Structure 1
Amino acid sequence: MLTSMKNILEDSHKHYYGVMAMNCVNIEMARAAIMAASEENSPIIIQIGPKQMKLHGHKEEMYPLVKDLAERVHVPVALNLDHGTDYDVIADCINTGFTNVMFDGSSLPFEENLQKTEIICQLAHMAGCSVEAELGHVGMAVDDDDENFDLFTNPEQAKDFVERTGVDCLAVAIGTAHGDYPKGRVPKLDFERLALLKKTLDMPLVLHGGSGTGEENIKKAVSLGINKINVATDVCTVAKKAMLDEVEKNPKIDYVSMCIAAEKSMKEYVKYYINLIGSNNRFNFGDVEYHGHE
């Protein structure tokens, strides 16, 4: 069933496990994620960014698709707008039925980020939609932003931000970045900062740039309080490899068979990731609210 991301993350925060947030732009991706979650008895977050939504995964098609798939399974599913920056796009997604929106004001001055986040929270909460914000800045791996300590989240500043905005979860910058890291490099995460952020804020925390971060980094981040992990690049890489492998085996393969191979590979990857971050067998979904269990 489609539910608020807040419902999902409140439980993962309480019990220290992670929930996968997978960027999806078509039926193969969404179905792979949701069916994998169903088989693993895990919550799942489907998300899509404004650029992805504009180029390919239009909200007019993705919302009813995700809603229909969510209604077929017994596990909680949230639909999130990822990295929203434009007020009109965010408001449109709230009105469409997205169950969470992210306002990304991380590149703005602190006070401007705070004020705009507060406005988005007021608008979303009136519609029963939860809100994710970002403080600090998770930049691009190609620009080595994961090594720029000036972009990392300040715990005391974050506390002020959360208290004044009423945001439901916070994306923090602790040493990850979006996209592919240079070959052979695994990011070094600031776990001491993460532990302090969790203690100071006592709320669900989000890790952007989960792709390429490494199993040990991900597991330790979850153990210290990361509750939502965004994954896009790694899933796309898995799907692309599966399709290319099928073409190599049979150059005359038809397009539908390629899509089936891609979906199968993504589903297996999501199941692996769910077990990596500990969200398997974590739910008891009632008629209204999500209640996890140990």
Structure 2
Amino acid sequence: MLVSMKGILADADSNNYAVMACNCCNMENVEAVVAAASSKRSAVIINISPRQFHLHADLDAMIPMIVSLASAAPVPIALNLDHGKEYDDIATALKKGFTSIMFDGSALTYEANLAITKQISTMAHNQGCACEGELGHVGQASAGDGEKVDYFTDVDMAVQFVKETKVDALAVAIGTAHGKYPAGFVPKLDFVRLKELKSALQMPLVLHGGSGSGEENIRRAVECGINKINVCTDVFAIGRDSVAHALGENPSVDWMNLMSGAQKDMQDYIESYMDLIGSSGRYQYTLADKQQFD
């Protein structure tokens, strides 16, 4: 069932687990995510960023497919605009049927980020959608941004930011970064800061840059209060490596077999991640229970 992210994350917050937010840019991505969620009886969030839908994931094709698959799934599924920055992209997402909006004003001044996030939060809520903001800055792994302490989220500023914007979830910067880390590198996360943020805010917190962060870091992050974890790079890499392996084994392999193999490998990875973050087995209900998640 396709629902707002708000109820999904409220349950995760109340029960101290996290929900995976997977970026999707084609049918195989979406089917892998929905199949994994259904198999594991786990809520899940489908992320699509403006870059992805401008470059490849055409929304007029993607959204009907997502709605169809989610409607048949026995678990709550949200469709979230990931890292929306431009008003036109956010308006398009709301018009097309996204159930959640993440506004990324992290590169702006605090004052500008607060003011625009407040506007976007109001827009989203007026349409029954959830809204996620970001305070601090989760930059790029290739630039070493995860190690820049001055990018980390300030607790006192976060309290004021949430109070004024009324966001449903807050993405915090505690040492992760987007993209692929250098080989052998595992980020060092500021769990003390995360605990302080959770204690002060008492709300769903989001970890961006979940790819490559290491199982122990992810496990501890959930224990300390993270309720949504964005994973893009690792899922895409699983699909790529599956195709490369299949071609290496048999260069004349059929295209459909390549794609179905990649889909199955992505599903397996997503299922294992759901086990890691504690979302597996949380939902045992029928579609008649949809109302509680809206």
- Output the CA distance in 1 between the equivalents of 2:38 and 2:165: 34
1:287 Cα deviation after fit:
3.2
Deviation at 1:290, TM superposition (A): 3.0
Gaps of 5+ in 2: none
Alignment of 1:10 with 2:10, yes or no, is yes
Q: How big is the shift at 1:284?
A: 4.7
Q: Distance in 2 between matches of 1:143 and 1:212?
A: 15
Alignment-derived partner of residue 275 in structure 1: 275
SS in 1 for 2:134: strand
% identity of equivalent residues: 50
Compute the displacement of 1:256 (Å): 1.1
Please tell me whether the aligned partners of residues 134 and 172 of structure 2 are also in contact (alpha carbons under 8 angstroms).
Answer: yes
Partner of 1:50 in structure 2? 50
Matched residue SS, 1:194 = helix
Q: Which residue does 2:74 correspond to in 1?
A: 74
Q: When the two structures are superposed, what TM-score results if normalisation uses the length of structure 2? A: 0.98
- In the other structure, the counterpart of 1:134 is 134
Select which of 276, 284, 292 maps to 1:289.
292
Shift of residue 15, structure 1, vs aligned partner: 0.6
Aligned length: 291
Deviation at 1:55, TM superposition (A): 0.5
**Matched position secondary structure for 1:276:** helix
Bigger mean CA deviation after superposition, 146-155 or 88-97: 88-97
- The residue that corresponds to 1:185 in the other structure is 185
Matches for 1:1-294 after TM superposition, within 5 Å: 1-285=1-285, 286-290=289-293
Paired letter, 2:202: D
Aligned to 1:116, what secondary structure does the other structure show?
Answer: helix
The code of the aligned residue for 2:108 comes to: L
Structure 1: which amino acid aligns with 2:291? V
User: Are 1:169 and 1:204, in contact at CA under 8 Å, matched by a contact in 2?
Assistant: yes
How big is each residue's C-alpha offset from its partner over 1:175-194, in whole Å with a ceiling of 9 and x where there is no partner?
Answer: 00001111111000000000
The runs of at least 4 consecutive aligned structure 1 residues that moved more than 2 Å come to: none
Given residue 19 of structure 2, which amino acid in structure 1 is its aligned partner?
V
d(CA) in 2 for partners of 1:164, 1:50: 26
Residue 188 of structure 2 aligns with an amino acid whose one-letter code is K
Residues 190-229 of structure 1 deviation map (CA, whole Å, 9 limit, x = unaligned): 0000000000000000000000000000000001100000
CA distance, structure 1, for counterparts of residue 2 and residue 29 of structure 2: 17
Confirm or deny: 8 A CA contact 1:26 1:62 kept in the other structure: yes
AA matched with 1:150: D
- Secondary structure, in 3 states, of the residue corresponding to 1:66? helix
| Preserved CA contact (<8 Å) 1:82 1:102 | yes
Which whole-Å CA distance do the structure 2 matches of 1:85 and 1:194 have between them? 25
